[in-house]
Structure 1
């Protein structure tokens, strides 16, 4: 019983040591960080949409497509 008990005690001690170490690490994002990341991505997407649908960009893209379609073959 002595050796088996010692092995089990060491294994259990090692298990709890790794659990405590895992709890102390700061990996991954928390809920607040996910929310801020989502809001930032949505804001950038809205700004990109506004720029792409604006008059100057839309006109430039239309001009580019028109020139490409009117190219002589």
Structure 2
């Protein structure tokens, strides 16, 4: 056995799957954050904040 045992680190394929998963999550979050409903809500909240008395 090498240093750290047989399961010491991820293999290249595990890194690839992890990277693809992270990219999929990032793409989904981007779609939600840039959707019309979210943009309208952010605009309304910013408008209320700027025109608060």
Is the structural similarity TM-score above 0.5? yes
TM bin (shorter chain)? 0.7 to 0.9
Distance apart, 1:60 and its partner CA:
0.5
Structure-1-length-normalised TM-score? 0.66
Aligned residues: 52
RMSD: 1.3
Aligned counterpart, 1:47: 28
2:15 corresponds to 1:31:
no
Does 1 or 2 have the higher relative contact order (CA < 8 Å, sep 6+)?
2
Q: Quick check: which one's helix share is greater?
A: 1
| Alpha-carbon distance between aligned partners in 2 of 1:35 and 1:25, rounded to the nearest angstrom | 20
Q: What are structure 1's unaligned runs of at least 5 residues?
A: 1-20
Q: What are structure 2's unaligned runs of at least 5 residues?
A: none
Of structures 1 and 2, the larger Rg is shown by: 1
Runs of 4+, deviation exceeding 4 Å = none
